[in-house]
């Protein structure tokens, strides 16, 4: 059995066997601890359809009475089974194209002006080392938060919410 969670820009699936997933198209997620899997599942606890499907998945794995479990209990069972590799979580990126690269062309200065504009070159010892950019964004959590917000009607943007309230007040008057 396989449960699908669609989050943009990737599709995430949980299944009871690896045979559902093609290694070239899917990235199998490995969890070092059950807490890591639980951290991933926690934002989805309010998704009632997903929790219903996860209960069905647990029932197919011979877990007794998953329909009587609370959402956190279901998530804890699933997290433990993901950690123990009894369940498999796989990701597929839905966007398969390369990102567009935009290059702005600049007109070359006239030859006489080019000599005036040219700056003196720095010696190699004067050049400061460049630090690597690190992306600390938890994209999975961010996507899960946006999906959960969309499901329960939570506004994404403070400015948009202000405009929406102003429109509602204007229409009410």
Record the pTM.
0.53
Domain coordinates in residue numbering, the chain: 2-93
pLDDT digits 0-9 by tens, 105-140: 555 555 555 555 555 555 555 555 555 555 566 777
Name, in order, each residue with C-beta under 8 angstroms of 49's C-beta and a sequence gap of 6 or more.
none
Query: What is the b/e burial string over 74-100, where b = at least 16 CB atoms within 10 angstroms of the residue's CB?
Result: bbbbbbbbbbeeebbbbbeeeeeeeee
Q: Hey, what are 128's tokens?
A: 């400061």
Q: Could you report how far apart the first and last alpha carbons of the chain are, in Å?
A: 53
* Contact status, residue 78 vs residue 38, Cβ threshold 8 Å: no
Which H helix or E strand runs over 35? helix 34-41
* pLDDT, position 144: 75
* pLDDT, position 154: 72
Which H helix or E strand runs over 92? strand 88-93
* Contact status, residue 4 vs residue 90, Cβ threshold 8 Å: no
* pLDDT, position 5: 79
Q: What is the pLDDT averaged over residues 35-51?
A: 91
Residue 86 pLDDT class (50, 70, 90 cuts): very high
């Amino acid at each position: 059995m396989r449960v699908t969670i669609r989050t943009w820009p990737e599709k995430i699936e949980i299944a009871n066997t690896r045979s559902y997933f093609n290694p070239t198209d899917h990235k199998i997620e490995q969890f070092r601890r059950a807490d890591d899997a639980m951290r991933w599942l926690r934002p989805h606890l309010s998704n009632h359809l997903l929790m219903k499907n996860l209960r069905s998945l647990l029932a197919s794995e011979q877990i007794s009475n998953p329909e009587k479990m609370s959402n956190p209990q279901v998530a804890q069972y699933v997290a433990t089974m993901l950690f123990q590799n009894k369940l498999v979580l796989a990701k597929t990126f839905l966007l398969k194209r390369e990102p567009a690269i935009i290059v702005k062309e600049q007109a070359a200065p006239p030859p006489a002006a080019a000599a005036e504009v040219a700056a003196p070159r720095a010696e190699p010892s004067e050049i400061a080392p460049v630090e690597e950019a690190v992306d600390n964004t938890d994209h999975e959590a961010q996507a899960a938060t946006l999906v959960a917000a969309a499901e329960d009607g939570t506004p994404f943007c403070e400015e948009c919410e202000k405009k929406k309230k102003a429109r509602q007040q204007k229409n009410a008057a």
